[in-house]
Structure 1
Amino acid sequence: MIGWLIVACEMLFWVFVVSGLFTRYVLKWKMVSACLFLCTILADLILLVVSVADLAHGQTAKLSHALAAVYISVSVVYGRRMIQWADNQFAHLFLKMPKPKKAPLFGKEHAKQERKGWYRHLGAWVIGQVILWAMVWFAADVSKAQELFRMAGLWTLVLVIDFVLSFSYTLWPRKEAKTRSGKLSDW
């Protein structure tokens, strides 16, 4: 059930985002649009409450419970950026606004962007760990929380790998490839 709820919450998130964009740009209802964007938080709260209640009522933690913690923390940290991305794309495609600026692909600016991305990942990891350990507490039986422990460990490993990759660009910045004519390509 929790797995389907994650899918439903993700769909609900994007329904609120698209509705918010539609009301902002097409209907020109700024306040309604802002309320719809704030409702994206509602999807996370529903998922959190149902997941914790499920564990508190004696269910053994499943992968779906662990993924709910990951989904919620990623949504909290990256949700605003995803909404901004959708807003920029909508404005460009439907209102003929300037094309959104792309992230730098080379040099120090790219390295800086990679580090910022890792810091966001770290923030999501911290929130996710708090949620996972709170779920362990609500499960009240460590033997029923093994999947939560597995996810905490796996995500820690992914965070370490992301750190190595993200900060490697600080030591070895990505360089722009040269074309045969000797000019720099813009990839």
Structure 2
Amino acid sequence: MLLAIIAACEIGFWVLLAAGLAARYLLRWRRVSAVLLVGVPLLDVVLLTATVIDLRHGATAGFSHGLAAAYLGYSVAFGHGWVRWADERFAHRFAGGPPPRRAPRYAPERTRHEWREFGKAAIAWAIGCGVLLGMIAMVGDADRTEALLGWVLRLTVILAIWSLWPITHTLWPVRPGDGAGRDGGGDGRDSAAAGGGGAARR
């Protein structure tokens, strides 16, 4: 059931975001758009509440509880960037706005960009681990929360791997004249990162 709620929250995020932007740029309903977009962060509250209730009712923490904590962390840290990424494209397509920004390709701007993205990942890690440790303390039963400790390790490994990207750009920066370099003319991460993000929608 918790996995279904996580999936529903993710689907709900994109549905509310698309509906809010459509109301703003296609229908010119500014107030309706504001209400719809305010509903986006409430999805995280719903997920957190469902997770806590499940554990309060005696459930043994499993994969879905850890995934919920990780989802919350990345949602808060990167969600605002995802909203901005979508907003720029809606505004450009339907309201004559400027072309969407892209992630910088060359140092030093690209290096700073990668460290900012890593900073968001670190925030996601801190929030996710904080929620996991909070759930462990709330349950107070090591046998029922063993899986949550495993998720703390998973999130730490992900953050460590993520750190390789800004470190690489710091040690071997791509500069104009290097050709496509490591970027290969830009990757899929660039377009999403241009809006501020990789898992905070606020």
How does the TM-score come out when normalised to structure 1?
A: 0.90
Matches within 5 A, 1:165-184: 165-176=165-176, 177-178=178-179
Deviation at 1:13, TM superposition (A): 0.9
- Is the CA contact (8 Å cut-off) linking 2:26 and 2:94 kept in structure 1? no
Choose 1 or 2 for highest CA Rg. Answer: 1
1:75 maps onto 2:75 in alignment: yes
Instruction: Note the 1:87-106 alignment, pairs <5 A.
Output: 87-106=87-106
Return the letter of the residue paired with 1:67: L
Task: Give 2:11's aligned residue.
Answer: 11
Letter of the structure 2 residue corresponding to residue 3 of structure 1: L
Q: CA RMSD in A?
A: 1.7
CA distance in 1, matches of 2:34, 2:171: 41
Deviations 1:15-73, CA, capped at 9 Å, x for gaps: 11011101111221222212211111111111100111111211111111101011111
Deviating beyond 6 angstroms after TM superposition, the runs of 4 or more aligned structure 1 residues are none
**Deviation at residue 151 of structure 1 after TM alignment:** 0.7
Q: Distance in 2 between matches of 1:79 and 1:36?
A: 15
In 2, Cα distance between the equivalents of 1:53 and 1:162?
32
Secondary structure in 2 matching 1:144: coil
Distance 1:127 1:178, change over 3 A: closer
Offset, 1:96: 4.0
Task: Report the equivalent of 2:21.
Answer: 21
Alignment partner, residue 140 of structure 1: 140
Per-residue CA deviations over 1:121-157 (Å, capped at 9, x if unaligned) read 0111111111111111222211111111111011111
Report how far residue 83 of structure 1 moved: 0.7
Q: Distance in 1 between matches of 2:179 and 2:16?
A: 44
Residue 12 of structure 1: how far off its partner (Å)? 0.9
Q: Aligned partners of 1:175 and 1:153: how far apart in 2?
A: 36
Q: Pick 1 or 2: higher relative contact order, CA cutoff 8 A, min separation 6.
A: 2
In the alignment, which residue of structure 1 is the partner of 2:39? 39
1:14 Cα deviation (Å)?
A: 1.1
Contact 1:17–1:40 (CA<8 Å) still a contact in 2? yes
Gaps of 5+ in 1: 180-185
Q: Residue 149 of structure 1 corresponds to which residue in structure 2?
A: 149
Q: Deviation of residue 2 (structure 1)?
A: 0.6
Q: TM-score, normalised by structure 2?
A: 0.84
Separation in structure 2 between the aligned mates of residue 34 and residue 173 of structure 1, nearest angstrom: 41
The one-letter amino acid paired with 1:35 is V
Contact 1:114 1:166 in 2 (8 A): yes
Any gaps of 5 or more consecutive residues in structure 2? 186-202
Give the Cα–Cα distance (whole angstroms) in 2 for the partners of residues 165 and 91 of structure 1: 31
Distance 1:161 1:80 in 2: 23
Contact 1:60 1:139 in 2 (8 A): no
Aligned residues: 181
